[in-house]
Amino acid sequence: MSAPGIEVHHVTQASAPRAAALDAALAQASPAEIIRAAVSEVGRERLALVSSFGTESAALLKFAADVDPAIPVVFLDTGWLFEETLAYRDTLTRLLGLTDVRTIYPREEALVREDGDRELWFSDPDRCCFIRKVEPLARALTPFSAWLNGRKRFQGGDRATIPVVEADGERLKFNPLANVTPQELQTLYATSGLPPHPLASSGFTSVGCMPCTSRTAPGEDSRAGRWRGKGKTECGIHVTKIS
C-alpha cells in the first residue's frame, strides 16, 4: 500500500542490467571492496548507508568509515525505538568518526491521522511500518542514486538468497555483508574494539521498535524476536520498491 505522494516504481531497464553486472563482478568481493565499488559507481554524495544502529550495525558502519567516514548515513527514528538504540547511534558516530549521520522521522501528520492512539503496531503492523519506516526512507533516499544496507544471508528467511548488488527501483542497492559469516562478524568486533548494542547482553539478537522486538531463546534464528507471532519478518523497506 502506498501513501499519498509516494510512488512505488518497478525496476528500470537502466538499473537492472547494471545491478546484474555489478553483482557478478562483486560476488566474491570483501565488504570494503563492495563499498568502494559503490562509491566509485555513483559518487559519495549520491550514496547513502541506511543503518538501524541495531545489534549488528557496527560492522557495516565500521567498513564504511574505513572507506570514507563522510558517506551519508541515514537513520530512521520511528518514534518507537529503545533509548539504548539512540544512545548506541551516538556512541558509534563518535567512535567511528562518522561525519554525516542524518536522523529521519515519520511525518507528524501521518502519525496523528493514522496512529493517534499509538496502537497501530498491534492492529496493523504492516501499515505501522509503512508510515514509520517505508515512507520516511523513501523521502530520505530522494537525493541518492544508490544505497548500502546491512542484510546478511545467514540471517535466513527472505535474506538467505540476497545478491551482493540488486536493482531497487531506480536505484542500485548494495548488500556489502551478504557473504559474511557470524564468526567473521565476531572477529571484526573483537579486533576493532566495536562495542555491542547495549541490549545484546540481555538476549536481544535483533533490535527494532520496542513493541515489536522481543528476546530470542538459544538456538532460535537471530531475527525470531522481531514481530513475534505476527507472521511478519520484514518491515517493508527491503521488499517494497520505493524509488
Question: What is the C-alpha separation between 149 and 34, in angstroms, rounded?
Answer: 11
Angle between helices 83-96 and 57-67 (to 10 degrees): 20
**Per-state percent for the chain, helix, strand, coil, to nearest 5:** 40, 10, 45
Report phi then psi at 95, rounded to 5.
Answer: -60, -40
- Can you give the C-alpha Rg of the chain in angstroms? 17
**Amino acid symbol at 88:** Y
**Strand pairing partners for 73?**
49, 101
Residue 235 annotated as catalytic: yes
Question: What is the C-alpha separation between 53 and 95, in angstroms, rounded?
Answer: 13
Question: What is the C-alpha separation between 193 and 187, in angstroms, rounded?
Answer: 10
Q: In the structure grid, which three cell numbers stand for residue 95, read together? A: 567512535
Report which DSSP code applies to 80: -
Question: What is the C-alpha separation between 109 and 197, in angstroms, rounded?
Answer: 32
Question: What is the C-alpha separation between 133 and 153, in angstroms, rounded?
Answer: 22
Catalytic annotation, pick one of 128, 129, 209, 235: 235
Question: What is the C-alpha separation between 137 and 106, in angstroms, rounded?
Answer: 9
Q: Three-state SS for 134?
A: helix
Active site residues: 235
